[in-house]
Amino acid sequence: MSHQLPEALDQLSALLARLPGVGKRSALRLAFHILSRPREEAQQLSASLTGLHESVGFCERCGHLAGQALCDICLDPRRNPEVVCVVEGVPDLLAVEATGEFNGTYHVLHGVLSPLRGVGPSELRVAELVERVHGGGLQELILATPISVEGEATAAYIQSLVGREPKLLLSRIASGVPQGSELEYIDEATLGRALRARQAL
Ligand SMILES: [Zn+2]
């Protein structure tokens, strides 16, 4: 970075530039902005960053982000714990939530199967899902992994593991979802339709 600025500013903007979508110039602008604001704001930001990893973990049941053992969705008595929507990641969960069409709970895999990238079942929260299914009480598992080669392979793999489970309906989000698209980038109306039109496997 430049040598015309104090080290601390250089360092802050270099760290900010590591964030996604933040280039060097906007990182410097953000650093200037933080400096121009009252000291307490910088301290709040700093404290928030420091405590982040301590105060946010993963829900023991579904793998969503949680501030305690279970996430807010799993703890919500208005949600139906018998219907579980299986998604690739937290952004997909948020996309399904944004449709306002889903009243069940989730299981976040934290990835999809990808032999090319060396992602196998043990890298995903698949064993936890099978355990949930075997624990009983589930009525429907909606496989909402992306409509892509990897997403389909992941859905097929899960089907091979729990497809014969008695009294469990397996369904797949409808293929109205554009090919290859990540759920998080699909507009809410389309995703809502894909959920409503899900097909039994
Ligand atoms: Zn949860």
Tens of pLDDT, residue by residue over 170-180, are: 999 876 666 66
CA of 173 to the centre of ligand 1 (A): 21
Q: Does a structural domain hold residue 171?
A: yes
Overall average pLDDT of the 113-140 stretch? 94
- Regarding whether 174 and 93 lie in a shared domain, the answer is yes
Q: Which residues surround ligand 1, an ion (CB under 5 A)?
A: 59, 61-62, 64, 71, 74
Question: Nearest to residue 142, comparing CAs of 101, 180, 178, 181?
Answer: 101
Are residues 128 and 194 part of one domain?
yes
Residue 157 in domain: yes
Which residues does 117 contact at the CB level (< 8 Å), separation at least 6? Answer: none
Q: Where does the pLDDT of residue 201 fall: very low under 50, low under 70, confident under 90, or very high at 90 and above?
A: confident
Neighbour-count burial of 49, counting CB atoms closer than 10 A to its CB (0-12 exposed, 13-18 middle, 19+ buried): exposed
Ligand 1 centroid to Cα of residue 154, in Å, is 21
- Judge whether 64 lies within some domain: no
Residue 134, pLDDT > 60, answer: yes
Residue 47 burial by CB count (10 A; 0-12/13-18/19+): exposed, middle or buried?
exposed
DSSP state of 100: T
Residue 112 or 147, more confident: 112
pLDDT, residue 162, reads 93
The CA 179 to ligand 1 mean position distance, Å, reads: 28
The H or E element that residue 200 is part of is strand 199-200
Same-domain pairing of 45 and 84: no
Tell whether 104 is covered by a domain.
yes
Residue 164 DSSP class? T
**What is the number of structural domains in the chain?**
2
Pick 3 or 105 by higher pLDDT.
105
Question: Is 85 within the bounds of a domain?
Answer: yes
Domain check: are 87 and 42 in the same one?
A: no
Distance 73 CA to ligand 1 centre (A): 6
Q: How much is the pLDDT for 75?
A: 97
In a domain, 1, yes or no: no
CA of 30 to the centre of ligand 1 (A): 34
Q: Is residue 183 within 8 Å of 88, Cβ to Cβ?
A: yes
Specify the CATH number for the domain of residue 159: 3.40.1360.10
- What percentage of residues in the chain have a pLDDT greater than 70? 95
- Measured in Å, residue 65 CA sits from the centre of ligand 1 at 8
Checking if the pLDDT of 1 tops 60, the result is no
Same domain, 96 and 188: yes
Comparing 22 with 200, the larger pLDDT belongs to 22
Residue 58 CB coordination number (10 Å) = 16
Helix (H, G, I), strand (E, B) or coil at 176: coil
**What distance in angstroms lies between residue 68's CA and the mean position of ligand 1's atoms?**
10
Tell me, yes or no, whether 39 lies in a domain. Answer: yes
Q: Answer yes or no: is pLDDT of 2 > 60.
A: no
* Domain co-membership, 42 together with 119: no
For residues 200 and 113, the answer to whether their CB atoms sit within 8 Å is no
Residues 104 and 157 in one domain: yes
Cα–Cα distance, 113 to 119 (Å, whole number): 5
What is the pTM (predicted TM-score) of this model? Answer: 0.79
Q: Which range marks the domain in which residue 11 is found?
A: 7-52
